[in-house]
Structure formats: C-alpha cells, structure tokens
A and B are shown apart, each in its own frame.
Chain A
Amino acid sequence: MKTRIKELRARHNLTQEDLARKAGVRRETIVFLEQGKYVPSLQLAWDVAKALKSKIEDLFDLDD
C-alpha cells in the first residue's frame, strides 16, 4: 500500500505526534501508516484524511 501521508503532513507542517493527536491514534500507528505497512480501517482512513484536509483516495493507494 502506498500513502502520501508523510508528504501532506510536511505540507501542513505537522509532526507525527500532531497528526496522531488530530486523528485520535497513537504516534506509532502514524509511523506504520506512513511506511505503508498498516492498512487502516475506513474510520481511521477518514480521520487521517480529515486531519490532513484531504480525501481518502488522495492519501491511500491500495494497488500493489
């Protein structure tokens, strides 16, 4: 899975901790999401997209 979370996070000047706080998850989860190692639930994908003022389809690419 590919993600643009890190890129958009940097654009919004957010640390991983800031993003984790906005999305209501642990910082470790953001780390795994950025590495594309964890496939989030729809709820989490929505929360992260909302925190980054983006759309889910712009953030995540599930095509392997």
Chain B
Amino acid sequence: MKNDKLRFYFMIILLGLIIGTGVLYLAEVIRGEALRFGNGTPLILLLIIVIFMIFFIKHRSRDINADLPMEDERSKKVMTQAAAMGFYVTMYWLLAISFFESFFARMFGVVKLDAGQVVGGGIAGMSIIFIIAWFYYQSKGRLL
C-alpha cells in the first residue's frame, strides 16, 4: 500500500509536469506567432492526455483513500490489453502517416514533414489510441 501511495503521488507530479510543459509551449507559440491548427495540434493532444490523466488519478484516488490497492489483477489485465491493442493499431497509424505524409504536411502548412513532426505525430497517435483502448477494455467485462 505504501508503494501504491508513492506511485499515486508520482502520477500527480507527472501530471503537473505535463500541464507545465503545455503552458510553456502555449506561451512560446503565442509569443512567436498566431495560434493555428499546425502549432495548436500538440496542445489539443496534450489536453486530451491531461484530461485522461485527471480521470485516471481521480479514479485511483478513491481506492487510495479507502486504503485499497491501486492495482490488481483486473486493472493489470486492462492495462496490458490496452497497451497491446495500442501497439497493434499504432503500426497502422505509422503506416498511414508515411503513406499520407503530403496530406499531413499540407494540414500543418509545410511542404514536407520533418523527422520530429513524424515521430511526434506517431507518439501522439499512439497515446490517443492507448487511451481509447483503455476505456474500451475498462468497460468490457470479459478480459483475456
């Protein structure tokens, strides 16, 4: 239980760091240029991840406050299956990015995506896919 509490506080610190990063990024964008779809997309993705983390922390805080474990066999199964599904679908997402690279480049107002944008887009997509998969397996009764 003590480890669970430490992990819980670590998650809160991590959330704070992510929010801080988002705020810094927003300040940089506003200072440098007008906010548009291309440079605003990371913020949208960050917001989705932050909302998920807040939901997740709130979910777990009830267990921590009631002196219950933060993780058990079912929650580990949900996490494992969501991660596996996230990995599997991300393969197709990465293929889509490389196949439709010119489309995404036009969307972000550039001629060609650079390596950072491709990697960032891949990771962001993987996060979103994982979040969706987590909600799906969380609500599903039967797990493998």
Residues of A near any B CB (own CB < 8 A):
17, 20-21, 24-29, 32, 35-41, 43-44
A54 to chain B, nearest CB (A): 20
User: Secondary structure at chain B's binding surface: helix, strand, loop or mixed?
Assistant: loop
Residues of B near any A CB (own CB < 8 A):
62-63, 66-75, 141-143
Given contacts A26-B72, A26-B75, A38-B74, contact A21 B67 (CB under 8 A): yes
Given contacts A35-B141, A37-B142, A38-B142, contact A29 B66 (CB under 8 A): no
Question: In the complex, A20 Cα to B75 Cα: how many Å?
Answer: 14
User: What A residues does B71 contact at CB under 8 A?
Assistant: 26
Q: Are B141 and A38 in contact (CB under 8 A)?
A: yes
A34 to chain B, nearest CB (A): 11
B139 to chain A, nearest CB (A): 10
Q: Are B66 and A27 in contact (CB under 8 A)?
A: yes
Q: Are B63 and A26 in contact (CB under 8 A)?
A: yes
Q: Which residue of B lies closest to A18 (CB)?
A: B66
Question: In the complex, A43 Cα to B63 Cα: how many Å?
Answer: 21
Q: Are A25 and B142 in contact (CB under 8 A)?
A: no
Question: In the complex, A43 Cα to B74 Cα: how many Å?
Answer: 12
User: What A residues does B75 contact at CB under 8 A?
Assistant: 26, 28-29
